[in-house]
Amino acid sequence: MSGSGTVRSKPPAALDGPVVILVEPQLGENIGMCARAMGNFGLTRLRLVKPRDGWPNIAAQRSAAGADHILNAVELFDSVAEAVKDCTLLFATTARAHDQAKPVRGPEAAAQEIVAETASGGTTGILFGRERHGLENDEVALANRIVTFPVNPAFASLNLAQAVLLMGYEWFKHATHNALPYEMPERSPRASQHQIDAFFSNLVAELDRVEFLRPPEKRDTMLVNLRNIFTRMEPSKQDMHTLHGVVMAIADGRKGPAKGGVLDGEQATRLRALLAERAAGGAEAEGGSLRGLARLLRRNPTDAERLLWEKLRTDRRFAGNFKRQTPVGRHIPDFVSFTRRVAIELIHPGEGEMVANDRAARKEWLAERDYRVVWIEAAEITADIAAVLARLETALARA
């Protein structure tokens, strides 16, 4: 399957590996599949001893699955002795003992010796026999070691490409120190207890609304069991933001966009604190989830936000100028006018230091980009909206 693992843009493995020697291979398809197995594990040197159907072989090219660089560099020999004469360490692969007093190695031990010999400057080779009956006794006699595989003794014969693949895998594993081509994607930082507590409080509040935590005498035990679910999973910050969004989305679907929204004032305050913490941690790399949480606030306006937004949309002094909860770069002010370059930030009661610091950093960032930032206490809006609008009119005139 094209694209299933072969990436032409990546550099090939640059390793000195053993020579693969196929003795009198019968089918071109087998040669091609051996070349493919070699390519999987960085082997490049292929020697053929008297291939039955001659060489080059179109069937080999068709079954090589792109390993043309190996087939194009094939070396041909008329005898095994000629093919192995430069090898300082030679292994013969066979499922039969051949009654020869030679060290017998498994693929892993053989691979370790090959890596060591290559590192010392030697040339190593691996002999593979004919598809039908393997290697002859005199051919095995040329080898320093025998390699055999731990297979079912009642069904021990491997096809040629399988044998090449097993040896190539073991060699490559040791040559690369068992390095894997990729690792698990890096997780976001581990969630703080503050995040977990805020999420859990919201979860419990929603469960209480649907009377899930019953009967009352089991409530404490149920809460402990629920909290342990999340502490065992060691959630990341991203996990917590996702779970928080899931709970709020479920609540939104159940209750609908009623007056006051899904979030009450306390929950909205906690969500603003989470957004501030995320921004302080470098949220520009994870802007999608940050904006998703900000959308929760947009769907859940406070009375002050709702009142001000209604005036900004309908009062002729401001109509058409402002947008609500709209990103400006990586920041999302409460209200912004791109044409007048004015941003409005509301200060809600009960907000902590982290939210205040986040607002100050946002103001500095916007000011550097020629935005005039107006801070308004939410209590001022509900107490005297006319005075607030007059103040905004002055700010727009200055802008």
User: Which residue, 319, 324, 283, is CA-closest to 393?
Assistant: 319
pTM of the model as a whole: 0.52
The tally of CA atoms less than 13 A away on the side-chain side of residue 287 is 9
CATH topology assigned to domain 19-175: Alpha/beta knot (3.40.1280)
For the chain, what are the domain ranges?
19-175, 184-300, 301-399
Backbone angles phi, psi at 145, to 5 degrees: -140, 155
Strand partners, 377: 347
Alpha-carbon distance of 362 to 256, in angstroms, equals 32
Distances (CA, A) of 103 to 19, 97, 106, 137: 20, 11, 10, 15
The CA distance from 163 to 22, in Å, is 11
Q: Compute the mean pLDDT over every residue in the chain, rounded to the nearest whole number.
A: 83
pLDDT confidence of 255, banded at 50, 70, 90? very low
pLDDT band at 283 (very low <50, low <70, confident <90, very high): very low
Q: Note the CATH number of domain 301-399.
A: 3.40.960.10
User: Could you report the per-residue pLDDT of 60-81, keeping only the tens digit for each?
Assistant: 999 998 889 999 999 999 999 9
Integer angstrom CA distances of residue 8 from 43, 69, 242: 17, 13, 36
Q: For residue range 112-155, what is the model confidence (pLDDT) as tens digits?
A: 999 999 999 999 999 999 988 889 999 999 999 999 998 888 88
Which carries the bigger pLDDT value, residue 11 or residue 354?
Answer: 354
Q: What is the pLDDT of residue 87?
A: 95
CB-count burial class (<10 Å; 0-12, 13-18, 19+) for 292: middle
pLDDT of residue 93: 94
pLDDT tens digit sequence for 177-205:
888 876 766 667 888 888 888 888 888 88
* First-to-last C-alpha distance (Å) of the chain: 60
Q: How confident is the model at residue 258 (pLDDT cuts 50, 70, 90)?
A: very low
For residue 43, the tally of other CB atoms under 10 A from its CB is 25
pLDDT for residue 2 is more than 90: no
